[in-house]
Amino acid sequence: MNFLKIFLIFFLIYSHSICLAQEELKKITLKVGKHKEFYRLVLHCDEEHTKDSLNVIALKNNKVKISLPEEFNIEFQNKTLTEGEFIKEFYIKKFNKYYLINTPQFKDYKIYKLYSPHRVVIDIYTNQLITTDIPSDKKALSIIIDAGHGGKDVGISYQNMTEKDLTLFIAKEISAKLTKKGINSLLTRDSDIELSIKERLKIGKNQKTGIFLSIHISNMEIFRIYSNYEKIQRGTKNNRLLEQFLNILKNKIEKNYSESISIEKLRVYKIKSFNLPFVMIEIPKKSLLNDNKYLSKIIENLFESINELISLKSDT
The pLDDT, as a whole number, for residue 134 is 40
Portions of the chain given CATH number 3.40.630.40: 136-315
**Per-residue pLDDT reduced to its tens digit, 228-282:** 888 787 888 888 999 999 999 999 999 999 999 999 888 766 676 787 899 999 9
CATH of domain 25-126: 2.60.40.3500
Class of domain 136-315: alpha beta
pLDDT band of 290, cuts 50, 70, 90: confident
277 cis-preceded (ω within 30 degrees of 0): no
pTM of the model: 0.66
Portions of the chain given CATH number 2.60.40.3500: 25-126
pLDDT band of 299, cuts 50, 70, 90: very high
Handedness of CA 114, 81, 102, 70 (dihedral sign): positive
According to DSSP, the residues that pair with 43 across neighbouring strands are: 30, 120
Maximum pairwise Cα distance, the chain: 83
Q: Which of 58, 2, 48, 57 is nearest to 26 (CA)?
A: 48
pLDDT band of 226, cuts 50, 70, 90: very high
| Of the ranges 2-6, 113-117, 179-183, 308-312, the best mean pLDDT one | 308-312
Let me know: does 209 contact 140? Beta carbons within 8 Å: yes
